[in-house]
Chain A
Amino acid sequence: MTDLRSRTLSRLPGDFSRLVYLASSRDLSTGRYSHDGLAFHFSETVASKAMAACHTEVFDRLLFCSLEELIEELGKYISSTEVRPGDVLRSWKHLGSYRVTIPLECDEMAAEVFLSNVKIALAILQRRHESVLQDEQSA
Chain B
Amino acid sequence: MSQLLPYLFLGLLLFAVLAWWVWDTIVHRAAAEVLAPHRSRVKSVASHRDLGERIFGPEDWDFVSRETSWEIHRMFQRERTVLAISWLRRTRLQVSQVMRAHLAVAQKSEDLKLTTEIRLAMSYLLFLVLCNSLIGWIRLLGPVRARKIVGQTLQWAAQLRGAFEQLMARVDPESCGVVGPNFNRGTVRS
Which residues of A line the B interface, CB within 8 A? 60, 63-64, 66-68, 105-110, 112-113, 116-117, 119-120, 123-124, 127
Contacts and interface: CB of A to CB of B under 8 A. Distances in A.
Interface string B30-54: 0000000010100110011011001
A112 B48 CA distance: 12
B73 to A, nearest CB: 10
- Chief secondary structure at chain A's binding surface: helix
Given A109-B51, A113-B54, A67 B64 contact: yes
Contacts of A60: 47
Contact of B79 (A106, A107, A108, A120): A120
Contact of A107 (B40, B59, B60, B67): B40
Interface residues of B, number: 28
Interface of B: 38, 40, 43-44, 47-48, 50-51, 54-55, 59-60, 63-64, 67-69, 71-72, 75-76, 79-80, 82-83, 86-87, 90
A109 B68 contact: no
A119 B55 CA distance: 15
A67 B51 contact: no
- Chief secondary structure at chain B's binding surface: helix
Contacts of B47: 60, 107, 110
B60 A112 contact: no
Contacts of B68: 124, 127
A120 B75 contact: yes
B51 A110 contact: yes
B72 A124 contact: yes
- The 6 A-B residue pairs with the shortest CB-CB distance in the complex, in nearest-first order: A107-B44, A67-B60, A116-B79, A68-B63, A107-B43, A66-B59
